[in-house]
Chain A
Amino acid sequence: MLKPVVLPKNAFKLFFQSLKGLGTVYAPVKVSEKSYSFKEVHSPEEIAFEALRTILPPKKFFYPQEETLIRYKNGDFEEVQPEKKFQVIFGVHPCDLASLGILDTIFSSEPADSHYLKRREQSLLVGLSCMPDKHCFCNAMNADTAGSAYDLFLTDTGEEYFIEIRSAKGVELIKSLAEKVSDANPENHEAYKEFWKKREAAFSHGLETENLRSLLDLEWENQIWDEMGKRCLSCGNCTPVCPTCYCFDLVDIAGLNAKEGERVRQWDSCQFVGFAQVNGDFNFRATPADRLKFWYRHKLHGFDDAYGFKTCVGCGRCTESCPAGIDDIVQVVKILQGKKENKHYEP
């Protein structure tokens, strides 16, 4: 592995050109007063470096909202391959990198998901450091450092970027910039450490997570679920914005002549009423409260058994995007822990 290097900010344009040389570059772009979205960018000026969380997480590049898996025609069918296209995702924060690491594990577990993995293979992830706001709790979920899913990770140390290199693709790219980057010196290392110390101190949530596993089991009948259920709209907003939610439906979309059509995968949500419904109209999660607590359990405990990790990375998107204003994981967990009083649940 290459030693970390330093790129002066005034050379970022060249760095960006190298990224563009690899394929289509996507980065956070400001799309309204308060929101950001990963979009294709053609120049560094378009990038919103200040963006904290985008509306949708970067999973959309590897696991699109809708994709065709199989096409059938005239009594036969064939697999549809994902488009051959190299994607560079710039500005991915630690929580989102952690989430991609989680999705990598899930989609590569047997039988592996060829569509996701092919898209991941044709990609380069460039991470970028960030400063938490009041909804961030990635540090409580062990998702506050670069993790394993990146190729390059940029820490903003003021005048320059301190770049960690993790993959062969990352090494190649840095080599092509040899004239502009320099090996990180002790001073750069100091600035790097300084930044991460400052960042650690900036978290304000005060969430403790060591007992989540038993907490979610023991508090399964806590009245907070019913109180939240009464206000939950079952809109399902919390799931597409979640960087690790990946549940899907498989549907056939037939052509007008019914002789040809496609088998399509679409994002689904466990918050929709029919998600756990089976034949005979039996529903294992019939009420919004049932579905909400299922989702909480799944995020904070659910994959401990199946994969050995939790699937919440503390990005705060669900809290920010909940139209009912109830989906505040930090506050809910504190109430379950008895560290905060539940006065008819008001986060």
Chain B
Amino acid sequence: MNLKSPFLPQKSVIRSVVPMTHDNYLFEFRDSVGHFASCKPGQFVELWVPGVGEAPISVCSGSIDGNLQLLIRKVGRVTSALFDMQEGDWVGLRGPYGQGFPVEKYKGKDVCMVAGGLGVAPMRSLWQYILDHREDYGNLILIYGMRHSIDLLFRAEFKQLLRRHDIDVFIAAEEIVGPDLPPMSVQLGRVTDMVRLSAVDAGYEVAICGPPVMYKYVVQELEKKSVPDSRIWLSLERHMKCGIGKCGHCFIGGEFTCKEGPVFQLSELRMLPEVIECEGGAH
């Protein structure tokens, strides 16, 4: 039997580290063999720091061209160890895994993207992909909410996005803290307020990614706007430890989030228990 272990990662060298905020860095990894060239928006990889462990991280750029970008927040053991590493050091990467956002299904449609907090990282892969293929899509709305305005990520990119006329960008923070650099127009409020303000309607395909508590409230707002469940796409947060539908940690209802997801159509999820409701969190 000549099978290779699916847990063997690809050795990948850190090409650059760009701090975005004090605890959010954008890491770029060299993908010399083109292992990740087929990455789709919304997919994820398993990142291994030898001696520490693995963590599932969302792909955060629309196309992978020799380099793979991952936005990483320093929250746990693996990410903390990564923050101690520098250019030239290597990590292990496995993937890409999962089904991303259905960009083919969105073709010819209006698309609304809703990101909360760190959910902006996977959402970036989607808006970059759609803007790269702009003529294939209709009206675009991008909503990005965070707790404190100082946590705003991809500031330079959002400045560019705000200047474009072919995408409506809404940025909201629950509290304005620290420098609000003009011309960033950060509004006081939550993502749900921005959904209400936006022109999203029943004709839009809506992609959502954010902390688990956010989904329930965003979905309620979308219901008020008559967006049908079949047009709401949620990227679910689960701890995908193996990424290949084996370890069981991300199993919900009848499906593995890492294999069938992490992006699911809300109409598929309505029948499943324990999808959106959760306990705890910093709220």
B255 contacts A306, CB within 8 Å?
yes
Q: Which of A111, A117, A252, A281 contacts B52 (CB 8 A)?
A: A252
B6 CB contact (under 8 Å) in A112, A298, A304 = A112
Residues A279 and B244 in contact, CB atoms below 8 Å apart: no
Minimal Cβ-Cβ distance residue in A for B241 = A250
Question: Are A277 and B239 in contact (CB-based, < 8 A)?
Answer: yes
Once bound together, how far apart are the Cα atoms of A116 and B3, in whole Å?
A: 11
The segment out of A27-35, A123-131, A282-290 that lies at the interface is A282-290
When A111-B6, A282-B281, A285-B274 are in contact, do A276 and B254 touch as well, CB less than 8 Å? no
- Which of B76, B92, B274 is in CB contact (< 8 Å) with A294? B274
Q: Quick one: which of B24-50 are within 8 Å of A by CB?
A: 48, 50
Known contacts A113-B246, A247-B249, A283-B280; A77/B3 CB under 8 A: no
Least CB separation from A121: chain B residue: B1
User: Which chain A residue lies CB-closest to B118?
Assistant: A279
Q: Which residues of A contact B8 (CB under 8 A)?
A: 70, 79
Chain B residues lying within 8 Å of A250, measured Cβ to Cβ, are 7, 53-54, 241-242, 247
Interface size on B, residues (CB 8 A): 48
The interface on chain A, measured as residues whose beta carbon lies within 8 A of the other chain's beta carbons, has a size of 56
Interface flags for B214-250 (1: CB within 8 Å of A; 0: not) read: 0000000000000000000000011101101111110
Contact present for A252 and B51 (CB under 8 Å): yes
Please measure, in the bound complex, the distance between the C-alpha atom of A256 and the C-alpha atom of B76, giving whole angstroms: 21
Contact in complex: B255, A268 (CB < 8 Å): no
A-chain residues with CB within 8 Å of residue B271 when the two chains form the complex: 217
Docked-complex contact A278 and B212, CB < 8 angstroms = yes
Give Cα distance in the complex from A276 to B253, angstroms: 13
Q: A220 within 8 Å of B by Cβ? A: yes
Q: Is B188 part of the binding interface, using a Cβ–Cβ cutoff of 8 Å?
A: no
Counting CB contacts under 8 A, is B213 at the interface?
Answer: yes
Assembled-state Cα–Cα distance A334/B49 (Å): 48
A10 proximal to B (CB < 8 A):
no
Option from B9, B247, B248, B279 in Cβ contact (under 8 Å) with A282: B279
CB distance from A300 to the nearest CB of B (A): 12
Would you call B6 and A114 a contact (CB within 8 A)? yes
**Which of chain A's residues 262-302 have a Cβ closer than 8 Å to chain B?**
263, 265, 268, 270, 275-287, 290, 294, 297-298, 301-302
- CB of B198 to closest CB in A, whole Å: 26
Q: Mark A69-108, 1 if CB is under 8 A from B, else 0.
A: 1101001010100000000000000000000000000110
Interface residue ranges of B54-111 to A (CB < 8 Å)? 54, 75-76, 90, 92
A268 and B248 in contact, given A279-B237, A280-B212, A282-B280 (Cβ under 8 angstroms): yes
Cα-based distance from A89 to B246 in the complex (angstroms):
25
Closest Cβ of chain A to B147, distance in Å, is 11
Digit string of B239-269 for contact with A (CB within 8 Å is 1, else 0)? 1011011111101111110000000000000
Which of the residues B54, B244, B279, B282 comes within 8 Å of A286, measured between beta carbons? B279
Query: Are A278's CB and B6's CB within 8 A?
Result: no
Residue of A nearest to B90 (CB): A75
In the complex, the answer to whether B7 meets A69 with C-beta atoms within 8 Å is yes
Contact A283 B50 (CB under 8 A): no
Closest Cβ–Cβ distance, residue A83 to chain B (whole Å): 14
The DSSP consensus for interface residues of chain A is mixed
Q: Cβ of A248 and Cβ of B247 under 8 Å apart?
A: yes
- If A114-B4, A278-B237 touch, whether A249 touches B247 (CB-CB below 8 Å) is yes
Contact yes or no, A220 B251, CB < 8 A? no
- B50-A118 in contact (CB<8A): no
Specify which chain A residues have a CB less than 8 angstroms from the CB of B3 in the assembled complex: 112, 114, 117-118
Q: Write out the residue numbers on chain A whose beta carbons fall within 8 Å of the beta carbon of B273.
A: 217, 220, 297
B-contacting residues, A128-167, CB 8 Å: none
Is A38 located at the chain interface by the 8 A CB criterion? no
B254 to A280, Cβ gap below 8 A? no
> Does any Cβ of A come within 8 Å of B5's Cβ?
yes
Q: Which residues of B contact A1 (CB under 8 A)?
A: none
**Could you say which of A69, A246, A282, A304 has the most chain B C-beta atoms within 10 Å of its C-beta?**
A282
B211 within 8 A of A: yes
User: A245 — nearest CB in chain B belongs to which residue?
Assistant: B248
Q: Mark A201-225, 1 if CB is under 8 A from B, else 0.
A: 0000000000000000100100000
Closest partner residue, chain A, to B46 (CB atom): A250
Partner of B76, one of A263, A279, A284: A279
Give the residue name and chain of the A residue nearest to B247 (CB): A248
Q: Which A residues are in CB contact (< 8 Å) with B156?
A: none
Say yes or no: is A2 at the interface (Cβ < 8 Å to chain B). Answer: no
Inter-chain CA distance A114–B212, complex, in Å, is 34
B51: nearest chain-A partner, CB-CB: A254
In the complex, B18 has a CB within 8 A of chain A: no
How many whole Å from A214's CB to the nearest CB in chain B?
11
Which residue of B has the minimal Cβ distance to A73? Answer: B50
Whether B211 and A280, one on each chain, are in contact in the complex, defined by CB atoms closer than 8 angstroms, is: yes
Q: Which residues from 231 to 270 on chain A have a C-beta closer than 8 Å to any C-beta of chain B?
A: 246-252, 254, 258, 261, 263, 265, 268, 270
* B181 lies within 8 A of chain A by Cβ: no
Chain B residues with CB under 8 Å of chain A are 1, 3-9, 11, 48, 50-54, 75-76, 90, 92, 211-213, 237-239, 241-242, 244-249, 251-256, 271, 273-274, 277-282
| 14 residue pairs bridging A and B, Cβ less than 8 Å apart | A69-B7, A70-B8, A106-B246, A112-B3, A114-B6, A115-B5, A249-B249, A263-B48, A276-B274, A277-B280, A279-B75, A284-B238, A294-B274, A306-B254
Given contacts A281-B280, A284-B277, A286-B279, 17 further A-B contacts (CB under 8 A): A77-B11, A79-B5, A107-B246, A111-B6, A114-B3, A117-B1, A117-B3, A220-B273, A248-B241, A248-B248, A249-B249, A252-B52, A282-B280, A284-B212, A287-B279, A294-B274, A301-B254
